[in-house]
Structure 1
Amino acid sequence: MTNAEKTLGMDVLGTGAPVRRAATGGPDRPLSISRIPGIDGLRALAILIVMVSHAGLGRYVPGGFGVTIFFFLSGYLITTLLRMEYGRSGRINLPAFYMRRVLRILPPLYLTMTLVVVLALTAVIDTRVTPLNLVTDALFLTNYAGLLGLPSTTPIPLWSLDVEEHFYMLFPACFAALAMWRGSRIARTLGAICLLTLLIRIATFAAIGEGEIYYWSHTRIDSIIFGAVLAVWQNPMLDEDAWRPRPWHVALALLVIALTLALRAPAFRETLRYTLQGGALFVLFSAAIQARGPVARLLAQRWLRVVALFSYTLYLVHMPMLEAMRPLGLWSVPVAYVLAFAWAAGMYACVERPLARRRQRSLRKVVQGA
């Protein structure tokens, strides 16, 4: 790639399509993809679905689907950043990538786990937290702890974080190896992995029934990879000629989502459901990121942006707060969620925001090829 091509933002994946400069800043700043209104709105929607479901409405609000949205979003954002980095520098700086992940994930996680330990030791929550459980949780093995005979007792839904971290451990190196390919070829490869994951789910269900299919990384990783497919093929934030869903496409995708949530048969729920949802989210994310008019304004509301900023810590802390406030009866949920937002706001101001500046400096260097 020539310097001129880098300046113009040509697509290094070989599609021949120009890459769109997606957000704030001039040529000396990396693209900012986390503040796209559609992304913020979807992130906020995902955490709100999870929190409402865990507030006692799980029978009516599909908390698991909120997690699936998080998975898709994570795969899309991370792969888009990797694609941008390769486009600017011609390589993927893996040490810098993993340092950014450490700064993003570990401080809020370990501080919230410390809070849980304090609550457990003071009998505010009725949870027995053992050192072995904490080690398992800290090493991102919670979703396989049952196989190890060490089921987690920590009231944090860490299994989904484990799935994401297992993806992050492997995918950047794989992407670096495939980055010279055309985007459509990478998408086909990722699609084949999604198909393989579906076949593994079907085989696992046939062998043991539902089991832990919902939680295991090797049976849920496709929910993240579907987002990666959108990042390398028809990316609405990078590709000028990206596919724009029509209203009937969106309506059909919403219908598919509704059907996947309505069909409760275990054989469907633990096999095809995640595949169909991934395909539908491909459409919905494409539409949301490119949205204009009322939809864009809805997704860009300030309160949704605030919820999106706090979403990671909210995910970590909302269930411990629910457990701690359980004695309050009817007041337990509102008080717990006020405290959860307070903890998340404090974490953002004192931990996440300062570390985000450091991550941005690192990202600026690698994206600009420094």
Structure 2
Amino acid sequence: MSHVHAPMFDGAFLGVDLFFVLSGFLITSLLLKEHQQSGRLDYWRFYKRRFLRLAPALLVFLAAYWLLAPLVWPELDDINQDVVVSALYLADYGIAFFDSPDTLLHMWSLSVEEHFYLVWPPLLVLLLAYTARKQLWRPVLLLVALMFVWRVYWLHTQGQQFYEVFFRFDTRATGMLLGCALAAIAVHRPEWMEALHARQKYLLWTLPILPFAIIGYEWGDAGALLWGITLAELAAVAIIVAVIKQTGLLFEMLSLPALVWLGKMSYGIYLWHYPIVRYLRANLEWPWVVAIGLPLSALLAMLSFYTIERWALGLRDKGESHAKPAHATAPAKYTAA
């Protein structure tokens, strides 16, 4: 809704931080479970799985954009550059420092994720080598605090330049690291997670308040980089704690068939929606952008999922166990990530 420019959804751009926390939690849960079972991490397997999950659909989308963008936006003269920057997962720093890509602005968050995938597994192994397993959450939480301070530092040294802080991996890593810390507790200190889950009702009471606090921020508001992101990340933690045992009202709501299906389509919707919405919002009022843009994005996402994505997922999972790690539980709608 943020990309649609719908009224009262100015702060919806902070919703991506929910995903960052969830991503850090799921990826780290899988990595820690693998390390528990074998005493090591298979980097090649990890990066191959990530590549097959993300790259094929991305390359098809970028190819379609490269062919169609000159017809839709004939005034653009940097289409090739935008495609290359996006394909190399450099959109986060490209936008922050060079304003590229533009009509593929949404590629920044995928680039942030890719940088996380590159940096975190070897760093996790290093932390495990020098930290007792049950204390792993401590240095990870320290990293969360340090990265928050780093974001504040850049925000002030750059004269509160929103773009130069909002889009970069190094200034947006707090959410993913917070999810990593929660995963370390879930896997290595399950009794702690049980205690947190037992108190979930107190955490869930905060959820109705947080959206209103987040919505209060507008695009370009430096306060969103200080506290809006933090509120969104804490909301994500509360949701994960509430659903990790796959019981309770919130879990049942997130497991509704429509939401499960939407989760499967989410990557494709993410890829296709922004250029569609950007074109429509330049010519139509926001209700029409929603009514036309979102169904069209979902249709293209279905086409992507049932062709290239499902084929790539089959390659990814070929010959591998389909067993899910006991502590890497989450609603089914999230497991395709």
Q: Give the alignment of 1:1-370 within 5 angstroms.
A: 52-57=1-6, 59-60=8-9, 62-123=11-72, 127-146=76-95, 149=98, 151-179=100-128, 181-208=131-158, 209-211=160-162, 212-234=164-186, 239=190, 242=193, 243-244=196-197, 245-252=199-206, 254-256=208-210, 258-262=212-216, 266-290=221-245, 292-325=247-280, 329=284, 331-361=288-318, 363-364=320-321
Instruction: Kindly indicate whether the alpha-carbon contact (under 8 Å) linking 1:73 and 1:224 is maintained by their aligned counterparts in 2.
Output: yes
Deviation at 1:65, TM superposition (A): 2.4
1:234-268 per-position Cα deviation (integer Å, ceiling 9, x unaligned) = 359x9366231331222135535543443669453
Structure 2: how far apart are the matches of 1:213 and 1:201?
Answer: 7
Q: Could you say if the C-alpha distance between residues 126 and 239 of structure 1 is closer, same or farther in structure 2, counting changes exceeding 3 Å?
A: farther
Structure 1: how far apart are the matches of 2:82 and 2:23?
Answer: 26
Instruction: Kindly indicate whether the alpha-carbon contact (under 8 Å) linking 1:89 and 1:366 is maintained by their aligned counterparts in 2.
Output: no
Give structure 1 stretches of 5+ with no counterpart.
1-51
Structure 1: how far apart are the matches of 2:320 and 2:30?
Answer: 9
Q: Could you say if the C-alpha distance between residues 85 and 191 of structure 1 is closer, same or farther in structure 2, counting changes exceeding 3 Å?
A: same
Equivalent residue of 1:219, what SS? Answer: coil
Q: Which amino acid aligns with 1:250?
A: L
Structure 1: how far apart are the matches of 2:107 and 2:312?
Answer: 22
Deviation at 1:272, TM superposition (A): 3.4
Q: Could you say if the C-alpha distance between residues 240 and 167 of structure 1 is closer, same or farther in structure 2, counting changes exceeding 3 Å?
A: same
CA RMSD in angstroms, aligned pairs only: 2.9
Structure 2: how far apart are the matches of 1:240 and 1:147?
Answer: 42
Q: Which amino acid aligns with 2:153?
A: A
Deviation at 1:119, TM superposition (A): 1.8
Q: Could you say if the C-alpha distance between residues 266 and 326 of structure 1 is closer, same or farther in structure 2, counting changes exceeding 3 Å?
A: closer
Structure 1: how far apart are the matches of 2:320 and 2:135?
Answer: 26
- The count of residues paired between Structure 1 and Structure 2 equals 316
Structure 2: how far apart are the matches of 1:356 and 1:88?
Answer: 24
Structure 2: how far apart are the matches of 1:323 and 1:230?
Answer: 36
Instruction: Kindly indicate whether the alpha-carbon contact (under 8 Å) linking 1:142 and 1:152 is maintained by their aligned counterparts in 2.
Output: yes
Q: Could you say if the C-alpha distance between residues 260 and 343 of structure 1 is closer, same or farther in structure 2, counting changes exceeding 3 Å?
A: closer
Structure 2: how far apart are the matches of 1:189 and 1:125?
Answer: 50
Structure 2: how far apart are the matches of 1:366 and 1:293?
Answer: 23
Deviates more, 1:127-136 or 1:113-122: 127-136
Q: TM-score, normalised by structure 2?
A: 0.83
Q: TM-score, normalised by structure 1?
A: 0.76
Aligned identity (percent) is: 25
Q: Which amino acid aligns with 1:175?
A: L
Give structure 2 stretches of 5+ with no counterpart.
326-337
